[in-house]
Amino acid sequence: MQPMILTGSLTDDIGTERVAWSIADSALPGWRGRYEVTAEIRMVA
């Protein structure tokens, strides 16, 4: 599967931030056939 990027935003008391979610095949040992979903919000992954 080609990695998929989904964009959006997060709004809270601090303000609004752009967010990009990434969905890709997992590279972790023993996780064959599974996916990893990651995002970075305010420089925290």
Q: Tens digits of per-residue pLDDT, 9-45?
A: 999 998 999 999 999 999 899 988 899 999 988 777 6
When pLDDT is cut at 50, 70 and 90, the band that residue 2 belongs to is confident
pLDDT for the residue 45: 63
CA 15/CA 20 separation, integer angstroms: 16
For 16, the token pair is 């609004």
Task: Show me where the domains of the chain are located.
Answer: 4-39
DSSP string, 13-31: TTEEEEEEEEEEE--STT-
Q: Taking CA 21 as the corner, what is the angle to CA 35 and CA 14, rounded to the nearest 5 degrees?
A: 140
For 18, the token pair is 């752009």
| Contact by Cβ (8 Å): 21, 8 | yes
